[in-house]
Amino acid sequence: MPRFLIADDQPDVLEALRLLLKGEGFHAESAQSPAEVLDRLARSDFDCALIDLNYARDTTSGQEGLDLLSRIRELDDKLPVVVMTAWGSLDVAVEAMRRGARDFVQKPWDNARLLSILRTQTELANALRKGERLEAENQLLRRNVETRPLMIAESQAMQPVMDIISAVGPSHANVLITGENGTGKEVVARTLHALSTRSAKPLVTVNAGALSEGVFESELFGHTKGAFTDAKQDRVGRFELADGGTLFLDEIANVPLNLQTKLLRVLETGEFERVGSSKTRRVDARVFSATNADLHKEVAEGRFRQDLFFRLNTVEIRLPPLHERNEDIPVLAAHFLRSHAARYRKDLMSFDTSAHEALQTYSWPGNVRELDHAVERALLMARGEQITGVDLGLQRASGERDARRLEDMSLEEVESFLIRKALARYGGNVNQAADALGLSRSALYRRLQKYGL
């Protein structure tokens, strides 16, 4: 139902307009002063505003209404505003249009003409808002092209995971996905979304671990023009983009404690405000979250809110590390080989006996992501008709079997080697590995992405 804000200093005019709009199935809220108009616009969304140009300060010039019009445009430059006055003149009409009014009506108004103007302006405004949202969605999709997920899970260790996915996928329950870095948590999120009744709507992904505290609110909730130095236009946040669909919050344990309260509020009520705005918006988004941290420990040590943990953790899915699902390694490797061969337009090769042995005996501290990276690298480096164990380079990458001296390695090889060693030592726990390496979690995440771990 379209929502209108009508403003006039005469109660009988407001009542007449309210009844007229109600008869057309529209909802109208009224205000009797410019201050009341601005207050309502700051707190609620409207599809159109119909404002008088003359209030208590004077009765003929229209200046008070023109000033109000300018303030409205500053507050929301996409809200259509129709102005009206009993003291109409061509000069006032021209000035109102110059300040951003969409149309001009003189009192006493013609009901049919007024309703036609309001319908037209409401439809145009809705089209503009939809266009803004579609553009934001298109920009997001250009950065993160959605593909139908492929779950490769033939091992016994993955059967409980597949059972839970089948059971909770069609529901609206929030899901917490846990497991070591690189185990495929995003693939699980995409599979859950594909199985849900929201599959026709977007799955929007946010890597909380890669967001600094300064941009976190803007990224999730959006911002208004002028909210901060670089805010040159309104921006739709990820929650709004996920309305009706699913929001995937990766590395959820990295959300700063002071921002967890705002995240909890939107999960509990569906309400939030854009940065720089006091206007409350509503959203309906299912939330999947993922972490390689032990959230029970994070809660116990005061780094993660328990109430937020309960909101996220309606159902938990734990992904086993790759070394616990050996039966899946050959199938995953073959899948990655086909994918990368098509990408690089190379003749499809196969793995020889030494490659299969290397794949099965390596410890895979970086899990499925590292396997994908290793197969891609081997495809590019291989010179024969088959990929060999040497092409995979796993012997050299494995700490306990590395025969090369550090001084013979490049800087990137040394960094990758030490990161693999730390991940292997701490069982893939990124937080502990980061502490041991003297890095922040976000710095280690950037290096993990760089080296495909």
User: Could you please report the per-residue DSSP string of 227-294?
Assistant: SSTT--S-B--HHHHTTTSEEEEETGGGS-HHHHHHHHHHHHHSEEE-BT---EEE---EEEEEESS-
Q: What is the per-residue pLDDT for 87?
A: 63
For CA atoms 217, 277, 129, 44, give the dihedral sign: positive
Q: What is the torsion angle, in degrees rounded to the nearest 10, for the CA atoms of residue 180, residue 181, residue 185 and residue 186?
A: 170
Give the CA angle between residues 331, 336, 337 to the nearest 5°.
Answer: 95
Q: How far is CA 337 from the centre of its chain?
A: 31
Do 3-127 and 156-318 show the same overall fold? yes
> In this structure, are residues 451 and 414 in contact, taking their beta carbons and an 8 Å threshold?
no
Superfamily of domain 156-318: P-loop containing nucleotide triphosphate hydrolases (3.40.50.300)
Task: Of 77-86, 244-253, 403-412, give the lowest mean pLDDT range.
Answer: 403-412
Q: What is the per-residue pLDDT for 257?
A: 86
Q: What is the per-residue pLDDT for 361?
A: 87
Domain boundaries, the chain: 3-127, 156-318, 322-451
Top pLDDT among 155 and 126 is at 155
- Preceding amide of 108 cis, omega within 30: yes
Listed in sequence order, the residues at least 6 apart from 379 whose beta carbon sits closer than 8 Å to its beta carbon are 337, 340, 341, 344, 346, 349, 387
Q: What is the per-residue pLDDT for 60?
A: 61
Length of the chain: 453
State yes or no: pLDDT of 407 exceeds 90. Answer: no
Q: What is the per-residue pLDDT for 88?
A: 58
CATH T-level topology, domain 3-127: Rossmann fold (3.40.50)
Q: What is the per-residue pLDDT for 404?
A: 47
Q: What is the per-residue pLDDT for 9?
A: 85
Strand 48-52 to 3-7 pairing: parallel
The three-class DSSP label of residue 427 is coil
Q: Residue 442 and residue 449: Cα distance in Å, rounded? A: 11
Give the mean model confidence (pLDDT) for residues 190-214. 87
CATH T-level topology, domain 322-451: Helicase, Ruva Protein; domain 3 (1.10.8)
Element (DSSP H or E) covering residue 19: helix 11-23
Read off the pTM: 0.65
Indicate the average pLDDT of the chain. Answer: 83
Band of pLDDT at residue 128, cut at 50, 70 and 90: low
Q: Residue 263 and residue 304: Cα distance in Å, rounded? A: 12
Task: Of 39-53, 58-72, 203-217, 244-258, give the lowest mean pLDDT range.
Answer: 58-72
Q: What is the per-residue pLDDT for 398?
A: 41
State yes or no: pLDDT of 267 exceeds 50. Answer: yes
Q: Residue 433 and residue 447: Cα distance in Å, rounded? A: 12
